[in-house]
């Protein structure tokens, strides 16, 4: 592999090398699709032209780039992009990626197999399930021509109010988060034959779990001491490195007690070269988080951000604010010696090594017909359901409603999420009860709350789905749950995002946490409700009592055992 990488590196021009450092998106359903936003942002018309004009090292698909529809379309797009890359410049195939974390962040929908996401997997405590979930996702991504997944999230959810991580984290416990992060790295990178796996990307180093600020809009400041960082943030990344993770993504946040530069980690040599490479011993690929995020975008011009990130120790620059300007800035820095030839080659060698390790250099194309057969394969669905069945946590059942007795006459499903409420209603309806759905959304108006209360009076049981109900902007969900309980409805409330929602309405006497609103989680919820599956989930985070600061309403590891008919 080293000889192959050296051979490719030797034939590359400086422009070829600089191009390998950049990863961006392109708009369009096919490689040859003309799209006005490509012209506006990149000065060319098609995704293929974005690849060839800039000699790109990678391309990322997002939910808003009109790139992701069904498996065969995605596979054809991947092949078209790879053809463009291999027919131009140095002929080097692309790293094609997306953020298929599952759960809250899922770019590719059905028929791709859906899984519940990290915090739900944290509730199961199963290393085997976490690895299997990643393996399913990895196999399906590779079948569609994607060879790098920007996952898993290794951040420890130390701040339950974290606006950007939350249920994307496995746990608030560093040891549990580390075990499951390593398991998913193993699942992604060993999910098929050695040359047909996907690269995993552990993110967001040095740890984004203990902040109340969203780095998409502003710069978080994390006041961790060296000891706290070592105990809380570092373990998942150490575990990922020990497991051989191909890549690590940097976070846009400041650690003033560990780094006196005042720079975001993405732009800090102390963090990327010192902490990550020298201290943790990582010599793989370092990818920045999106350089369009406010935490770095507003700090320096596009060209300077790109150069500073390279000087800090990054290898690939994700989604610069202005690709032409950023690339010209790096080219100028290389030509002037501000970025040395040796430094440039070191990063390009890491990019090529990942491509060689995952078989991309030699075999970038996929079987389009095979994608339709492999993605969403029935066995994947059955395995995903078994995994998800082990993630449901019953927090309390003081009302004695669980499991539901056979022959329940009617059930109202209400609360947030049109897809989630519809999926749960279908699952309950399939078990016999007459089921009504009344979706209220994230911010139900008083009129909608009153409508749900009236509907509940005509049903034997009401299941209400809540998510982020403990935040002020979504507190109407809390009001909905309380109103249903005060009206005398027999109510089961379900936290479908973060378990902390279970503390938002003490009046409700039966609470379940799925930590996920996916269809597979709603099916598992129905199985628990009807006693087909005994709930085995345990809280991967503690749920604080909002009325008694410093006290947990539900402690870490809490979960009631249940009957299984």
Element (H, E) at 97: strand 95-98
Instruction: Out of 210, 259, 289, 470, pick the active-site residue.
Output: 289
Q: Which of 140, 98, 150 is nearest to 115 (CA)?
A: 140
User: Which tokens belong to 346?
Assistant: 């070191």
Element (H, E) at 49: helix 47-54
Phi and psi based region of residue 100 (left: phi greater than 0; alpha: psi -120 to 50; beta: remaining): beta
User: Which tokens belong to 340?
Assistant: 């040395």
The Cα diameter of the chain in Å comes to 78
486 is catalytic: no
Q: CB neighbours of 336 closer than 8 A, spacing ≥ 6?
A: none
- Tell me the pairing of strands 58-60 and 317-318: unpaired
380 is catalytic: no
Residue 82 to residues 4, 15, 243, Cα–Cα distance (Å): 19, 19, 29
C-beta separation of 168 from 105 below 8 A:
yes
The count of other CB atoms within 10 Å of the CB of residue 500 is 25
User: Which tokens belong to 172?
Assistant: 């608030």
**Distance, CA of 126 to CA of 540 (rounded, Å):** 12
Full 3-state SS string of 112-169: CCCCCCHHHHHHHCCHHHHHHHHHHHHHHHHHCCCCEECCCECCCCCCCCCCCCHHHC
Question: What residue spans of 172-233 are helical by DSSP H?
Answer: 174-189, 226-228
Q: Which of 148, 135, 140, 144 is nearest to 59 (CA)?
A: 148
Give the gyration radius of the chain's Cα atoms.
24
Interhelix angle 323-336/302-312, nearest 10 degrees:
50
Element (H, E) at 200: strand 199-205
Local structure of residue 212 (DSSP, 8 states): S
- SS3 for 238? helix
Name beta bridge partners: 393.
513
User: Which tokens belong to 425?
Assistant: 């209603």
C-beta separation of 392 from 514 below 8 A:
yes
Q: CB neighbours of 447 closer than 8 A, spacing ≥ 6?
A: none
**Distance, CA of 381 to CA of 285 (rounded, Å):** 32
**Distance, CA of 131 to CA of 136 (rounded, Å):** 9
C-beta separation of 393 from 123 below 8 A:
yes
Instruction: Out of 29, 45, 159, 216, pick the active-site residue.
Output: 216
Q: Which residues are catalytic?
A: 216, 289
């Amino acid at each position: 592999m080293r000889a192959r990488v050296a051979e490719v590196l030797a034939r590359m021009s400086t422009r070829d090398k600089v191009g390998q450092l950049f990863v961006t998106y392109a708009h369009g359903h096919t490689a040859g699709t003309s799209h006005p936003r490509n012209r506006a942002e990149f000065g060319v018309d098609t995704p293929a032209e974005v690849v060839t004009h800039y000699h790109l090292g990678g391309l990322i698909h997002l939910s808003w780039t009109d790139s992701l529809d069904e498996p065969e379309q995605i596979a054809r797009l991947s092949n078209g992009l790879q053809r463009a890359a291999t027919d131009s410049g140095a002929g080097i195939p692309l790293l094609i990626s997306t953020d298929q974390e599952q759960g809250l962040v899922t770019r590719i929908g059905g028929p791709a197999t859906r899984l519940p996401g990290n915090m739900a997997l944290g509730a199961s405590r199963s290393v085997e399930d976490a690895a299997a979930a990643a393996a399913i996702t990895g196999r399906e991504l590779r079948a569609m021509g994607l060879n790098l997944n920007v996952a898993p999230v290794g951040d420890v959810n130390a701040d339950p109010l974290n606006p950007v991580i939350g249920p994307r984290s496995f746990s608030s416990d560093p040891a549990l988060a580390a075990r499951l992060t390593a398991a998913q790295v193993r699942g992604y990178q060993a999910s098929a034959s050695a040359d047909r796996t996907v690269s995993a990307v552990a993110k967001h180093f040095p740890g984004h779990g203990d902040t109340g600020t969203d780095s998409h809009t502003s710069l978080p400041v994390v006041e961790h001491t060296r000891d706290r960082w070592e105990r809380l943030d570092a373990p998942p990344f150490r575990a990922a490195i020990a497991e051989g993770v191909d890549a690590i993504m940097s976070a846009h946040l400041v650690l003033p007690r560990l780094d006196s530069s005042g720079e975001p980690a993405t732009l800090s040599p102390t963090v990327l070269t010192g902490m990550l490479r020298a201290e943790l011993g990582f010599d793989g690929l370092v990818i920045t988080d999106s350089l369009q995020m406010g935490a770095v975008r507003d700090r320096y011009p596009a060209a300077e951000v790109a150069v500073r990130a390279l000087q800090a120790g990054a290898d690939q620059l994700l989604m610069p604010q202005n690709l032409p300007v950023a690339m010209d800035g790096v080219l100028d820095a290389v030509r002037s010696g501000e970025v040395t030839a040796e430094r440039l080659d070191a990063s390009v060698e890491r990019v090529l090594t990942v491509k060689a390790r995952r078989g991309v250099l030699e075999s970038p194309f996929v079987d389009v017909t095979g994608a339709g057969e492999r993605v969403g394969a029935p066995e994947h669905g059955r395995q995903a359901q078994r995994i998800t069945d082990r993630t449901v946590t019953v927090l309390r059942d003081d009302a004695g409603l669980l499991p539901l007795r056979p022959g329940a006459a009617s059930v109202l499903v209400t609360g947030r999420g049109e897809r989630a409420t519809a999926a749960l209603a279908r699952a309950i309806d399939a078990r016999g009860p007459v089921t009504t759905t009344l979706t209220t959304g994230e911010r139900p108006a008083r009129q909608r709350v009153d409508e749900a209360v009236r509907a509940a009076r005509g049903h034997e049981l009401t299941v209400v789905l809540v998510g982020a109900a403990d935040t002020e902007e979504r507190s109407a969900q809390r009001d909905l749950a309380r109103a249903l309980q005060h009206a005398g409805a027999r109510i089961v409330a379900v936290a479908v995002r973060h378990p902390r929602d279970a503390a938002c309405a003490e009046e409700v006497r039966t609470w379940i946490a799925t930590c996920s609103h996916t269809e597979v989680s709603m099916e598992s919820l129905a199985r628990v409700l009807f006693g087909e599956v005994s709930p085995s989930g345990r809280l991967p985070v503690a749920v604080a009592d909002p009325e008694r600061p410093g006290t947990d309403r539900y402690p870490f590891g809490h979960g009631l055992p249940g009957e299984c008919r």
